[in-house]
Structure 1
Amino acid sequence: MEELHPVVQHHLVNTLGWQALRPLQQAAITPLVAGHDALLLAPTAGGKTEATVLPLLSRMAGEAWTGLSVLYVCPLRALLNNLEPRLAGYASWTGRRVGLWHGDTTAGTRRRLLEDLPDLLLTTPESLEAMLVSTRVDHRRVFGDLRVVVVDEVHAFAGDDRGWHLLAVLERLSRVAGRSVQRVGMSATVGNPDELLAWLQGSGRGTRPATVVAPPAATAPAAPDLQVDFVGSVPNAATVVAALHHGEKRLVFADSRRTVEQLAVALRERGTETFVSHSSLSVDERRRAETAFAEARDCVITSTSTLELGIDVGDLDRVLQLGAPTTVASFLQRLGRAGRRAGSSRSMLFLATTDEELLRAVALLLLWSEGYVEPVTPPPSPRHLAAQQLLALCLQDGRVGRTTWPAALGGLPLAGADELAEITDGLLERGYLDSDSGMLFVGREAERRYGHRHFLELLSAFTADPQFTVLHGRLEIGTLDQLAFTRSVEGPRVLSLGGRSWLLTHLDWGRRRAYVEPTDRVGSSRWSGGARALSFALTDAMRRVLLGAQPRGVVLSRRATERLAVVREQLAVAVDPRASAVGEWHGEQLRWWTWAGARANLTLLSALAVSGVVEEVSQVDDRYLRLAPETTAGALTAAMAGVRQRIEALGVTTEVSDEALKQLKFADLLPERLSRRTLSERQADAAGARLVLDRGVFDVRASR
């Protein structure tokens, strides 16, 4: 603590009443004060925010930083809103100010922030880029004093294209600031911290010291109370949740907005005070629910992953999970939401509504009991973001050099040099760019496609389906997909949103607005989006559970134990301890049970397509591939040997459907060859495919 500024030390002791720092907070001071790039790792509620901000405030005071010197970037607006009062309090100790800027910030507030810059700004990558391309923002004045960027929940960025987008924006900010900006990431436990920090460093890798800060806890945490139950349906799950833990605050996670809504409606029918949180609810609706939940006592809040990332909803007594998340990392985040109070412990009850959910929950806990946490791997080949960044640079600078523009991105591996040239030529050919004397600027097609609403659609790396805004009078409740209004229904159309039922009274197709009134009838909700592909590790763990593996430190209820025995018996034909299994399913379909995950299976399918032993399908399963009739294990083994060398050389390309291509944001900015190649590489899992090939094949029919 002595390394911190005296004023900060004073307030830690006298304002917060702290006599000592946590191990992470103490260990972070030296590298952060020395200007290292750093990754701070700790479970949820592990003190990461203070471990990062207090040393930076000490430097800010001790080194007399001026202007906007620290950016604090989060993946969620709600998380920023939640953090702002706490960070503003810390900053006030040294006479510094905190500002908040994201999509919900009013125009008036933004003007005031630009006129009188804060010392620390809480924001999102999309808002940062909006500032960079805005003609109303003096980039040099706003970002010229920037010294540090803090990235909260960095794993949530790194796992998808928002991470690449963030890195590109940070490179451009460094160019505006005229200095290499220190980068500090915060995360819960990840499987590859050194690689994650190297990725976060971007162009600063190798030029500035890098430190992973992850000291062991002073005392080993108590083993969590983990239980799995099989309930068979969402209404049954609601009955269990309503009957358990009266007088306590319960957070129930589910992995789809539709299930969250179903559960909330069912809980309210059973007389349980219930609140709802998910991304399709309006900001005000979520805030009302989260505030009411924080202040209530005997209640439940149902949520998707929106409450996974540390948003404060007060002290929780219980965390439950309907179904199972798809990663150990997500499970750990959710588990860490409870057990924060002194004397309380971490616990989670899994409620499986289907056999697949039961098997996945037990497999996930098997991986956890073995100490496994997934590596965070940025998606490969972000060529589409190279194209997006070129247009953004043209908006930012007006004109950029045709051959020199990639330098502004600091050498980020978005695409190869030849591909960058091909991307540039393609944008020129299709009118997204115009050129004059070797300089590029925004063309008419880019204006037509992205120019409405100040190019906002160009500044976001994630896709969103067209949504209808649902309104009760002037009150915005949230959004629903068009699917909710186009599917046929008998009688009045009744919707479910925010855990309540609404009668549709008017639909404004032109303005995409749905007007509703409360009703006692039971409604339903609908959003588009398919099931998420499972990893090789999780799918293989499901295979091992079928073969008898059990997670340590986990209690299965009598119902779960009995149902798991049934699942093991039903799928006995699908597993073999010696190899991957070939067997008939219900006496009809011949399947190769790889248990490798959809991406590895798609790789195998593409590699084996010419052999004739596998059947082409529109959607690949995580667990198996369909085999052509009369295929033998010997024929499959021979075909596998023929493609092994191709997969070893990563020479297999997967088929890309036109529908899949629509899901790649900015695919229209790439030549079709490059957009299909990008998706093909992202759909593949050559490592998983090789593991299946190494395992060999056993025909379980031969043993019966």
Structure 2
Amino acid sequence: MASDRAERPDAVDRLHPVLLHHIVNTLGWPDLRPLQKAAIDPLMDGEDTVLLAPTAGGKTEAASFPLLAAMENSDWQGTSVLYLAPLKALLNNLEPRLETYAGWLGRTAGLWHGDTRESARKRMRVESPDILLTTPESLEAQLISKKTDHKHILGGVRAVVVDEVHAFASDDRGWHLLAVLERLERLVGRRIQRIGLSATVGNPEDLLHWLQGAQPHERTGRVVAPGVHLKAPEGNTPPPGDIELDYVGSLDNAARLISLLHGGEKRLVFCDSRASVEELGEKLRLRGVTTHLSHSSLSLDERRRSEEAFAEARDCVIVSTSTLELGIDVGDLDRVIQIGAPDTVAAFLQRLGRTGRRTGTIRNALFLATEEAALLKAAALLLLWGRHWIEPVVPPPQPRHLVAQQILAAALQQHTLGDRTWHEEWNGLAPFDRSATPIMKYLVGGGFLDTDEGLLFIGPQAEKHFGRRHFMALTAAFTAPPQFTVYFGRKDLGTIDPRLLLEQREGPRLLLLGGRSWQVGHVDFNRRRAFVEPAEGGGRARWDSYGLSGLSFPLTRAMRDVLLGANPPVRLTRRAQARLAELRENRAAHVDAHGTLLLREGDKLEWWTWAGFRANATLIASLGALADPVQQPDDARIRLSAATTPQSWQAARADLADRLVLPEVNPRAVQGLKFSAALPEHLAARTVAARLADFDGARFVLDEAVRWETRQ
């Protein structure tokens, strides 16, 4: 690319000459990557596009270079490009890079999210940057803010880049994002180009159509994924990577092994709970390992200090939840270590992609299973990975609570909505269209909206439930359980579950936060603050979560395959091989290669479906009296009434696939549904129930052969 313009591909030739100069001379790149070349034409032609590449695949440049060229060619003024990401830390990490690229053309980039100082926001309100990096929640906050001239800051938007778009699409934040983008298009009065950046997913075309929002058939779009294999290759060739699975039996043993192995290397250790991050972090520090921590309940300053120290060091470990799974740069990693296993292959691919970035290195991961269930889950996950299988991205169904939120947010933005035209704010995007009329009627009847002469405006109940801090509670699509902030002097350490402060205990109350133990002194219950002093050890970590638990149908089925003898195409240590052999011997009575198993032992009758949490929850609700009424759904089995006979079972099963019902909902789960206060109770419960259901998995199981077996 550096030598002769005549030799450049036509697409590369479309980039602005100043950009090409800096790519070669400032970045020192001899050429663009295939993805970056392939993205130029669709992005500069205004097409909606999804760019697929593994982590560190150059997606940010693939999006920003063509958009900067289009900005110059068409003389876009003001904020013309929005760059949206799911994490503030990711935006913080990207801002210097985008600011540099924009600066080559005399353009600017600015950062606006919940941690941005008011002085910086004030400057951007007067002189808006050409590229604005923000979150959907902060974009919503701008739309409803009385301080912000929406038209001045956002009226010139031409394109939106959505980083880690798959993370949005599989979550309620995706519905929120789509709805806000439709309102933004109405504000600017034109179609906004939509560009999604994603790791490899199982259904990229569906992801593109989802991103296009209302009337996707009226918009041009394409998936750009050079070099990405969207289908499994012929034969049994495993994906590339150096993967090892070990069984260590406890978190203590995991800490010991990490402290002994890979000395001098920079290691990123993933745990799938904040409490495990804290416990492992403390155990590693006690073994003399330089250890940093990152999870969502640590304060912003604590996380930044950890991530910066880790990025600059060599012989050290950072222990993290999924907060470091996405594209935040933590420097040149040598190794990823996974405690247990994530719930999805997609998450594993994100984590694996943090390694192998240096020339001459390959992607690698070490799985350390601390218990048998985690070993089985890890083996199953790696079995799916070896089959080149990746979960499709599927938006959560029936987001009625977000429909209510959007109606209230639109009323705040516009000050009034027409009682017959309110649905036009989302350009026909379902379910924010006329089908939401029952929710609208409830908002009016319940006092969340007032009405006068055909106009709707914010009512007293909306003020009561969501009005604090200028309706900031309306901008987040998820619910976080109430937590206490922990202070050492004036230093904010992070937040903890309040039950750690309320449960009865003898002796001093000790907390574990930031990988260190603290003794609780004074607690200010009114302001939700706890003040602590350092302690020698013995602290406890705990956080509650409203999230739905349980494994998917494909992962649970892969667990059955492992018990039936399938091995993932990775290195298994002798410990892992031995424990898997024990597992297979001990669980042989619970699996059948030809279908499901009905097992009676004494007065206990269990149906081993291996169908996953949601399919089993659906079957329990649909079986009615045949299912034991006192049970929590399990991934692998269902308890049936001991009175069930083969005859009554066959009669019930005959047409069950045609009369499946939604699972029962725990009222506490409804509390975790953000904005449920703005929904009728029965609609809130049905929304949660729809997210607990797996009708396809349940039907699959009902079509399988069933073997009855009785043991004494």
TM-score (normalised: structure 2): 0.95
What is the Cα deviation at residue 518 of structure 1? 1.3
> What does residue 508 of structure 2 align with?
492
What is the Cα deviation at residue 617 of structure 1? 3.2
What is the Cα deviation at residue 200 of structure 1? 0.5
What is the Cα deviation at residue 162 of structure 1? 0.4
| Cα deviations by residue, 1:399-438 (Å, 9 ceiling, x for unpaired) | 00112111101222125735x2211111111111100011
Q: Does residue 1:71 correspond to 2:86, yes or no?
A: no
> What does residue 513 of structure 1 align with?
529
What is the Cα deviation at residue 665 of structure 1? 1.0
What is the Cα deviation at residue 584 of structure 1? 4.3
Work out whether residues 576 and 700 of structure 1, in 8 Å CA contact, stay in contact via their aligned partners in 2.
no
| Cα deviations by residue, 1:97-150 (Å, 9 ceiling, x for unpaired) | 000000000111100111111000000011000000011111111111110000
CA distance in 2, matches of 1:465, 1:696: 43
Q: Which of 459, 462, 472 is the equivalent residue of 2:488?
A: 472
What is the SS of the residue equivalent to 1:202?
A: coil
Q: Does residue 1:248 correspond to 2:265, yes or no?
A: yes
Work out whether residues 540 and 596 of structure 1, in 8 Å CA contact, stay in contact via their aligned partners in 2.
yes
**Cα 1:194–1:285 shift into 2, 3 Å:** same
CA distance in 1, matches of 2:505, 2:244: 39
CA distance in 1, matches of 2:613, 2:216: 34
> What does residue 209 of structure 1 align with?
220
CA distance in 1, matches of 2:689, 2:180: 26
What is the SS of the residue equivalent to 1:206?
A: helix
CA distance in 1, matches of 2:430, 2:372: 42
> What does residue 638 of structure 1 align with?
651
> What does residue 70 of structure 2 align with?
59
> What does residue 39 of structure 1 align with?
50
What is the Cα deviation at residue 637 of structure 1? 3.2
CA distance in 2, matches of 1:681, 1:257: 28
Q: Does residue 1:137 correspond to 2:137, yes or no?
A: no
> What does residue 611 of structure 2 align with?
596
What is the Cα deviation at residue 208 of structure 1? 2.1
> What does residue 24 of structure 2 align with?
13
What is the Cα deviation at residue 638 of structure 1? 2.8
What is the SS of the residue equivalent to 1:607?
A: helix
| Cα deviations by residue, 1:554-591 (Å, 9 ceiling, x for unpaired) | 01111111111111112111100111011246x66321
CA distance in 1, matches of 2:710, 2:589: 8
| Cα deviations by residue, 1:74-103 (Å, 9 ceiling, x for unpaired) | 000000000000111111111110000000
**Cα 1:226–1:634 shift into 2, 3 Å:** farther
**Cα 1:414–1:639 shift into 2, 3 Å:** same
| Cα deviations by residue, 1:267-292 (Å, 9 ceiling, x for unpaired) | 01111010000000111100000000
CA distance in 1, matches of 2:415, 2:671: 29
| Cα deviations by residue, 1:352-380 (Å, 9 ceiling, x for unpaired) | 01111000000000001111000000011
What is the SS of the residue equivalent to 1:591?
A: strand
Work out whether residues 160 and 378 of structure 1, in 8 Å CA contact, stay in contact via their aligned partners in 2.
yes
Work out whether residues 633 and 698 of structure 1, in 8 Å CA contact, stay in contact via their aligned partners in 2.
no
What is the SS of the residue equivalent to 1:699?
A: strand
CA distance in 2, matches of 1:259, 1:163: 28
| Cα deviations by residue, 1:497-544 (Å, 9 ceiling, x for unpaired) | 111111111110000001111111221111002672211000010011
Q: Does residue 1:551 correspond to 2:568, yes or no?
A: yes
Work out whether residues 214 and 428 of structure 2, in 8 Å CA contact, stay in contact via their aligned partners in 1.
yes
> What does residue 453 of structure 1 align with?
469
Q: Which of 263, 284, 304 is the equivalent residue of 2:321?
A: 304
Work out whether residues 433 and 446 of structure 1, in 8 Å CA contact, stay in contact via their aligned partners in 2.
yes
| Cα deviations by residue, 1:158-211 (Å, 9 ceiling, x for unpaired) | 111100001111011111111110000001000000001100000251222111
CA distance in 1, matches of 2:403, 2:525: 35
| Cα deviations by residue, 1:668-697 (Å, 9 ceiling, x for unpaired) | 111122222222222111000011011131
Q: Which of 376, 388, 393 is the equivalent residue of 1:371?
A: 388
What is the SS of the residue equivalent to 2:212?
A: helix
CA distance in 2, matches of 1:284, 1:678: 37
Report matched runs for 1:555-594 at 5 Å: 555-584=571-600, 589-594=604-609
> Which moves more between the two structures, 533-542 or 676-685?
676-685
Work out whether residues 472 and 516 of structure 1, in 8 Å CA contact, stay in contact via their aligned partners in 2.
yes
CA distance in 1, matches of 2:629, 2:63: 51
Work out whether residues 637 and 696 of structure 1, in 8 Å CA contact, stay in contact via their aligned partners in 2.
no
What letter is aligned with 1:490? E
> What does residue 661 of structure 1 align with?
670
What is the Cα deviation at residue 654 of structure 1? 2.1
> What does residue 642 of structure 2 align with?
629
CA distance in 2, matches of 1:153, 1:487: 40
Q: Mind listing any 5+ residue stretches in structure 2 that lack a counterpart?
A: 1-11, 230-236
> What does residue 234 of structure 2 align with?
none
CA distance in 2, matches of 1:21, 1:584: 63
Query: How many residue pairs were aligned?
Result: 693
| Cα deviations by residue, 1:592-628 (Å, 9 ceiling, x for unpaired) | 111111111111111111xx32112352111111011
CA distance in 2, matches of 1:255, 1:695: 33
**Cα 1:681–1:221 shift into 2, 3 Å:** closer
CA distance in 2, matches of 1:244, 1:411: 57
CA distance in 2, matches of 1:361, 1:636: 34
CA distance in 2, matches of 1:532, 1:49: 33
What is the SS of the residue equivalent to 2:218?
A: coil
> What does residue 626 of structure 2 align with?
613
What is the SS of the residue equivalent to 1:506?
A: strand
CA distance in 2, matches of 1:83, 1:50: 11
Work out whether residues 591 and 627 of structure 1, in 8 Å CA contact, stay in contact via their aligned partners in 2.
yes
What letter is aligned with 2:657? R
> What does residue 408 of structure 1 align with?
425
> What does residue 353 of structure 2 align with?
336
What letter is aligned with 1:397? Q
CA distance in 1, matches of 2:221, 2:303: 38
> What does residue 199 of structure 1 align with?
210
CA distance in 2, matches of 1:290, 1:332: 21
> Which moves more between the two structures, 301-310 or 667-676?
667-676
Work out whether residues 551 and 613 of structure 2, in 8 Å CA contact, stay in contact via their aligned partners in 1.
yes
> What does residue 24 of structure 1 align with?
35
| Cα deviations by residue, 1:441-499 (Å, 9 ceiling, x for unpaired) | 00011111111111111111000011111111111110111122122222111111111
CA RMSD of aligned residues (A): 1.6
Give the percent of matched residue pairs that are identical in Structure 1 and Structure 2: 57
| Cα deviations by residue, 1:296-339 (Å, 9 ceiling, x for unpaired) | 11110000000000111100001000000000000000000011
Work out whether residues 633 and 697 of structure 1, in 8 Å CA contact, stay in contact via their aligned partners in 2.
no
CA distance in 2, matches of 1:448, 1:186: 38
Work out whether residues 637 and 697 of structure 1, in 8 Å CA contact, stay in contact via their aligned partners in 2.
no
What is the Cα deviation at residue 662 of structure 1? 1.0
| Cα deviations by residue, 1:635-660 (Å, 9 ceiling, x for unpaired) | 3233111312224xxxx222222112
CA distance in 2, matches of 1:194, 1:200: 10
Work out whether residues 150 and 183 of structure 1, in 8 Å CA contact, stay in contact via their aligned partners in 2.
yes
CA distance in 2, matches of 1:204, 1:112: 37
What letter is aligned with 2:146? T
What is the Cα deviation at residue 73 of structure 1? 0.3
Work out whether residues 238 and 387 of structure 2, in 8 Å CA contact, stay in contact via their aligned partners in 1.
no
Q: Which of 275, 297, 305 is the equivalent residue of 1:258?
A: 275
